[in-house]
Chains A and B, each alone.
Chain A
Amino acid sequence: MAHQTPISALGLLSGGLDSMLAARLLMDQGIHVACVNFHTGFCIQGHTSAMRNPEPNAKPPRHDALHAAQLLGIKLHMVDIAEDYVRIVTDPKHGYGSNLNPCLDCKIFMVRKAWQLKEALGFHFLFTGEVIGQRPMSQRRENLPHIERAAGVEGWLLRPLCAQRLKSTEPEKLGWVDRKQLKGFHGRGRRAQMELAQQMGLLDYPSPAGGCCFLTDANYSRKLQDLWHSRGERQYTMDDILLLKAGRHLRPAPHFKVIVGRDETENNFLSGFRAQRWLLQAEGIPGPVMLVEGTPSDSDLTLACRLTARFGQGRHSPQVTIRIAHQGQEALRQVAPLPAEEIPESWYI
């Protein structure tokens, strides 16, 4: 039976299957559901496809949470927390996971932010699609209660997919939610979730293999670590973290690095970041765009020009002309492409 004042729940929606199932379990009990999705700057979405030429049969890029919300027929609040999120990444109280992913701090932070929104919207409680033991750090049994305690929402965060294995929450005790209709999923397996999705007719969900953010990616984390190391401090700007997602990164010396576009789309993308950097490209010969970042000397710039020539189609020519653009000024420099054997493996970040 419908409640007189409909009970409403705000969920953290990643766009993955679990959060969709959690939302549906509540919606099927007549609860009014809306969701929130946070933009941290590190989320994996269409980014990579937006920066590189798409594979011939690739699905068009899309924002998973947005499409999940559309499929569920619910409102999605998209909230940009990137600025506040810097301190979570640079100084996490609970440390990092296997890469630079501060999952526990991240979860606590997001739950806290979601609570603020829940209060503003006048909703009754929060929910997530978490499953005990599914992720090594943030979804360990002992960590789940810690998340809500640290976020100050103890008893008000429901996890419909594994609720039957956890202490009853306030919404269950108050009879707003029927615990019997919730689930007791646990562990890394995906079978139970896939069966439930089938039963609910949810067929169009992103593959569970994709991680939820770049910080869990070893290559990305290495580049971020290198950035911090070279600057002597754990800080970053939005441009920094975007640039770490594009191109091939090489550091020939501690005080400068170069980023090389791998295709035309990436070249265009990199060109948008020329401010404060040097933009290099071969004249009259197809080749990549290269960005130079840091405090390169004149001879460092010559080396970067030689690298630019190396990665372009003029690599076997004796001389290539490189156009250097910096702070509105342009200059041409003739260089010999750097031979492959003069590029040490250690330069690649």
Chain B
Amino acid sequence: MTETAPHPPESDHTLDARRLLCPMPILRTEQALRPLPTGAILAILASDPGIEQDLPAWCRINGHTLLDLRPQGRGEWIAWVQKGE
């Protein structure tokens, strides 16, 4: 079992990027965030292990906040990104 935070962040929207290969989960995240207002939280489901490295890097260079990123078994991950300015 992986360690989990007591409360997962509350998301406004969810993106299912499972079965998509790198870099599609990132491209889809960008698309999904685009229409959202600053501060909105997007939950992302992914199954490409590249997400563990790519999402933090992408958030950093684009000024978004990665609130949490955790594996949830069966080769899947969940992440919460808060849209930056």
Residues of A within 8 A of B (CB): 37, 39, 43, 45-47, 49-51, 54, 60-63, 66-67, 69-70, 73-76, 78, 80, 242, 265, 268-269, 272
Contact = CB atoms under 8 A, between A and B. Distances in A.
Interface size classification for chain B:
20 to 34
B54 interface: yes
A126 B22 CA distance: 26
A80 B23 CA distance: 9
8 contacts: A45-B23, A46-B50, A61-B50, A63-B22, A67-B53, A69-B57, A74-B61, A268-B75
B19 A80 contact: no
Contacts of A73: 61
Mostly helix, strand, loop or mixed at chain B's interface? helix
B24 A60 contact: no
Interface in B9-31: 19, 21-24, 26-27, 30
B72 interface: no
Contacts of A67: 53, 57
B24 to A, nearest CB: 7
Interface of chain A: mostly helix, strand, loop or mixed? mixed
Nearest to A80: B27
B48 A46 contact: yes
A208 B27 CA distance: 25
A335 B19 CA distance: 31
A242 B21 CA distance: 9
Contacts of A46: 21-22, 48-50, 54
Contacts of B19: 269, 272
B52 to A, nearest CB: 6
Contacts of B27: 39, 78, 80
